[in-house]
Amino acid sequence: MRFCLVSLLLILPLGAARAQAHAGCPEHPHSLAAMQGCYRPLLVFSPSATDPRWLQQERLLDHDADDMMDRDVVLLPVLTNARGYKPPLDAPSITLPPQELAMVRKRFGVAASRFVVVLLGEDGSAKLRESKPVSTDTLNGLIDTMPTRRQEMQQPHSN
């Protein structure tokens, strides 16, 4: 019991520091608009939670979850059939309400039967659009060229 308490006390400051990096940002935003200026949403459109492309993308992101957190990337699944969906173990993710997901699908013009990955910048604009799973190296390389990310990297205690 004592070990658990000590472990928890060691972990709490890390979580607090992470929250301070996003002061004023919602922890659980319910729309893309609420994510602007706070996160870089990675929209992954897939016909189902069992689609091999979805599963591959999820594995890639889960493997490099620390990179996602460092860059304020959050996975946003847009699944036509969400049966069997389980949030990733490590990768930060947000599930939006069904009506918001329908608006996201319409905004980006992705048919229910298609697999598409779209990375949005903190400004809400699309920075990347692919019809196959995207490696975290590709995402990191692109994000690290963004002006806001460059500013983040130069600030003390930044990601």
Whether residue 21 is contained in a domain is answered as no
The predicted structure's pLDDT at residue 147:
62
Whether residue 145 is contained in a domain is answered as yes
Whether residue 66 is contained in a domain is answered as yes
The predicted structure's pLDDT at residue 21:
39
Whether residue 6 is contained in a domain is answered as no
With 0-12 / 13-18 / 19 or more C-beta atoms within 10 angstroms meaning exposed / middle / buried, residue 132 is: exposed
Q: Dig out the tokens for 78 from the structure.
A: 């847009």
The predicted structure's pLDDT at residue 10:
35
Whether residue 106 is contained in a domain is answered as yes
CA dist 37 and 69 (Å) reads 15
Length of the chain equals 159
Question: What is the domain extent for residue 134?
Answer: 29-154
Number of domains in the chain: 1
Whether residue 132 is contained in a domain is answered as yes
| CATH number, position 134 | 3.40.30.10
Whether residue 12 is contained in a domain is answered as no
Whether residue 147 is contained in a domain is answered as yes
The predicted structure's pLDDT at residue 19:
31
With 0-12 / 13-18 / 19 or more C-beta atoms within 10 angstroms meaning exposed / middle / buried, residue 68 is: buried
From first to last of its 159 residues, what are the pLDDT tens digits of the chain? 444 433 333 333 333 323 333 678 888 899 999 999 999 999 999 999 999 999 999 999 999 999 899 899 999 999 999 999 999 989 999 999 999 999 999 999 999 999 999 999 999 999 999 999 999 999 999 998 876 665 665 776 555
Long-range contacts from 53-58, C-beta under 8 angstroms, 24+ separation: 53/115, 53/132, 53/133, 54/79, 54/115, 56/133, 57/117, 57/133, 57/134, 58/88, 58/91
